[in-house]
């Protein structure tokens, strides 16, 4: 200890702390997590509707595929458009997953605490969070595998190409698990969003919550059922088509040698 | 055997109580069963007192008011937090397991030091009115709109029993989380016109993952609060207000 007693003005740490604007980053992270989850969930609704076009027939699905390849806009197919869209979704997923990591149990002690707590509490919304945690964890792998494949093989989407991948390519277990994970995780996540931010509850918050939880189960069931039917349809086509593996679906006008002709109303009809 | 226990209409209750004395670390925690006859209108408060009076005077548990006002008798009742004085045994199965509230310092058996936790929370979140105005006790207070007074009173009903902390998965994983009781305090002082703190200042207190952004909306607090406080809507409201500062 110096006895010379040179005293600098004492720094009032508390005062400085009060003047400093505290970081706005946690607010941004919280909002970004919600926004990324919301966008992903809405995207998954659209995705399911497009994919399930196979239930209306091979041609319907083919038209959807060609639409996303820009065929009806540019008169030619550009699969890189699909890659671009996949890249955006992948980016969103990475962002969402990175932010969700803040909420994951950080170690064995925390994981044990939340599991024990859930078992003891027997409380619906606490269980739902655990489901979200595990399905989210599963999607690190399942969603990444799927998105990476689509990113690098954007042209391999179509009634036969997709069905062959599902069945002969052996992807169906991944799609089945991914379907379960996404539909549970997404609809629980949307319900949680409404509770977290206090949306759509109306005047009577308790009645609103009951309505929203019913809506959540309705949405889960609807998309799960639609998803299972859709996957079933691809598996069925995949089995029927296993001996013509590699052959691509064509509608009438495409059997013309020289590839896809210019699009006209009459040529679009199926042969 | 008493006459009552022979009557088929009287239930024989078994209370399994988690016994633990932190003063004697060598003695491991154990579940000790106690049996007694259920009486009409019996609460867990009455049952525990009967056990302490007639079977084991060393049993530790806290009570003050017996009417759900003091918040002392929070405990885990068959795995869920609740107030013993407000829990009728008639609403429970005949095997009842009691444990102390997790997340608080254990004093012994069912007695926990919620006061210490609440004080720490209160100091951290500065849950008192911040006013630069000199208080003159002789002057009439500035009147407040009755609706506003009602709103504040609604949140002021919190008795700091600790059930929301014991029912919160986030708080059980992360001990620094302010919990519903803390966030409710901030919502309450935010409403109060006598408190001069701006949202910026409140953000400093709860604008991080130990505060409002740490809440994962598991809603145990909302569903298990013995006073039925509107915790979900309050936390959501606070979250909106605090998040809004993030984009300004
Ligand atoms: C690797 C993939 C993913 C992981 C690891 C993951 C993880 C999580 C976790 C742990 C939560 C809870 C966060 C909290 O409690 O605050 C969450 C929330 C959410 N997730 Fe995911 N998720 C993934 C993919 C998805 C996908 C594909 C969707 C769309 C279907 C989605 C939609 C949501 C929504 C809407 C929420 C609620 C957002 C919020 O609470 O702010 N997630 N996610």
Residue B34: inside a domain, yes or no?
yes
CB-CB under 8 Å, A197 with B239? yes
Residue B216 has pLDDT above 50, yes or no: yes
CA distances (Å), A89 to each of A44, A66, A92, A151, A172, in order? Answer: 10, 19, 5, 10, 21
- Chain A residues in contact with B242 by the CB 8 A cut-off are 27
Q: Enumerate the β-bridge partners of residue B16.
A: B33, B97
Same domain? B171 vs B236: yes
| Cβ-based burial of A254 (10 A; exposed 0-12, middle 13-18, buried ≥19) | middle
Residue B119: inside a domain, yes or no?
no
Residue B56: inside a domain, yes or no?
yes
Q: Identify the helix (H) or strand (E) that includes residue A156.
A: none
Q: How confident is the model at residue A235 (pLDDT cuts 50, 70, 90)?
A: very high
**Cα B5 to ligand 1 centroid, rounded to whole Å:** 54
Same domain? B149 vs B236: yes
Residue B19: inside a domain, yes or no?
yes
The contacts of residue B71 (CB under 8 Å, 6+ apart) are B83, B114, B159, B160, B161, B162
For residue A231, give both structure tokens.
């996957």
Burial B210-233 (b: 16+ CB within 10 A, else e): bbbbbbbbbbbbbbbbbbebbbbb
Residue A7 has pLDDT above 80, yes or no: no
Q: How confident is the model at residue A10 (pLDDT cuts 50, 70, 90)?
A: low
Of B173, B230, B239, the CB nearest to A113: B173
ipTM > 0.95 for the complex = no
* Longest Cα–Cα distance in chain A: 100
Same domain? B84 vs B166: no
Same domain? B62 vs B150: no
A37 lines ligand 1 (CB under 6 A): yes
Which of these, A191, A184, A235, lies nearest to A209 by C-alpha position?
A191
Q: What is the domain-level CATH number for residue B53?
A: 3.10.20.30
CB-CB under 8 Å, A121 with B79? yes
Same domain? B36 vs B82: yes
Pairing of strands B111-113, B30-37: unpaired
A188 lines ligand 1 (CB under 6 A): no
The conformation of residue B95, written as its DSSP 8-state character, comes to E
Residue A264 has pLDDT above 50, yes or no: no
**Per-residue pLDDT at B178:** 97
Same domain? B95 vs B154: no
pLDDT tens digit string along A143-194?
A: 999 999 999 999 999 999 999 999 999 999 999 999 999 999 999 999 999 9
A96 lines ligand 1 (CB under 6 A): yes
Residue B121: inside a domain, yes or no?
no
**Per-residue pLDDT at A176:** 98
**Which atom of ligand 1 lies closest to the CA of B217?**
15
- Average pLDDT on A193-201 reads 97
**Per-residue pLDDT at B248:** 81
* Longest Cα–Cα distance in chain B: 73
Residue B53: inside a domain, yes or no?
yes
Which of these, A215, A226, A218, lies nearest to A49 by C-alpha position?
A226
Alpha-carbon distance of A34 to A193, in angstroms, equals 7
Q: Say whether residue A232 is in contact with chain B using an 8 A CB cutoff.
A: no
Task: Count each helix (H run) and each strand (E run) in chain A, helices first.
Answer: 10, 0
Residue B88: inside a domain, yes or no?
yes
Same domain? B74 vs B152: no
Residue B22: inside a domain, yes or no?
yes
Same domain? B223 vs B160: yes
Q: Say whether residue B63 is in contact with chain A using an 8 A CB cutoff.
A: no
- Chain A residues in contact with B246 by the CB 8 A cut-off are 24, 26-28, 30-31
A40 lines ligand 1 (CB under 6 A): yes
**Per-residue pLDDT at A16:** 54
Looking at the structure of chain B, the number of domains it has is 2
Residue span of the structural domain in which B217 resides? 126-132+144-245
């Amino acid at each position: 200890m110096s006895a010379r007693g040179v005293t600098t003005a004492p720094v009032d740490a508390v005062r400085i702390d009060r003047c400093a604007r505290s970081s706005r980053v946690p607010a941004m992270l919280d909002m970004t997590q919600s926004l990324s989850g919301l966008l992903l969930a809405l995207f998954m609704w659209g995705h399911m509707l497009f994919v399930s076009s196979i239930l209306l027939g091979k041609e319907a699905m083919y038209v959807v595929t060609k639409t996303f390849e820009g065929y009806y806009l540019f008169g030619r197919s550009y699969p890189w458009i699909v890659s671009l869209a996949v890249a955006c979704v992948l980016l969103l997923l990475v962002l969402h997953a990175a932010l969700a990591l803040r909420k994951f149990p950080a170690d064995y002690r925390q994981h044990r605490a939340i599991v024990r707590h859930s078992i003891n509490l027997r409380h619906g919304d606490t269980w739902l969070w655990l489901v979200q945690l595990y399905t989210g964890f599963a999607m690190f792998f399942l969603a990444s595998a799927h998105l990476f494949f689509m990113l690098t093989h954007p042209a391999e989407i179509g009634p036969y190409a997709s069905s062959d991948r599902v069945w002969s390519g052996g992807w169906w277990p991944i799609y089945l698990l991914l379907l379960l994970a996404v539909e549970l995780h997404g609809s629980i996540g949307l319900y949680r969003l409404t509770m977290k931010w206090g949306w759509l509850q109306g005047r009577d918050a308790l009645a609103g919550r009951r309505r929203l939880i019913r809506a959540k189960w309705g949405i889960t069931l609807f998309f799960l059922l639609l998803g299972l039917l859709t996957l079933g349809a691809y598996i069925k086509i995949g089995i029927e088509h296993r001996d013509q593996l590699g052959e691509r679906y064509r509608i009438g006008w495409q059997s013309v040698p020289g590839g896809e002709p210019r699009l006209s109303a009459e040529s679009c009809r199926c042969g | 055997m008493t006459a009552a226990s022979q009557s088929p209409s009287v239930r024989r209750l078994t209370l399994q109580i988690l016994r633990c004395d932190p003063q004697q670390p060598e003695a491991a925690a154990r579940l000790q069963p106690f049996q007694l006859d259920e009486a009409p209108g019996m609460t867990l408060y009455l049952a525990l007192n009967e056990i302490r009076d007639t079977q084991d005077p060393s049993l530790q548990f806290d009570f003050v008011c017996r009417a759900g006002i003091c918040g002392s008798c929070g405990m885990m009742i068959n795995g869920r937090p609740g107030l013993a004085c407000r829990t009728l045994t008639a609403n429970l199965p005949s095997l009842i397991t009691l444990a102390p509230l997790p997340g608080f310092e254990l004093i012994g058996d069912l007695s926990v030091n919620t006061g210490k936790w609440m004080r720490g929370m209160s100091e951290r979140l500065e849950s008192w009115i911040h006013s630069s105005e000199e208080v003159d006790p002789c002057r009439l207070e500035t009147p407040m709109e009755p609706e506003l007074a009602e709103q504040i009173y609604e949140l002021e009903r919190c008795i700091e029993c600790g059930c929301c902390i014991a029912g919160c998965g986030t708080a059980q994983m992360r001990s620094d989380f302010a919990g519903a009781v803390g966030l409710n305090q901030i919502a309450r002082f935010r409403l109060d016109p006598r408190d001069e703190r701006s949202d910026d200042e409140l953000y400093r207190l709860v604008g991080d993952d130990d505060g409002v952004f740490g809440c994962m909306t598991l809603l145990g607090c909302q569903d298990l609060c013995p006073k039925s406080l509107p915790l979900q809507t309050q936390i959501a409201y606070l979250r909106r207000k605090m998040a809004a500062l993030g984009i300004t």
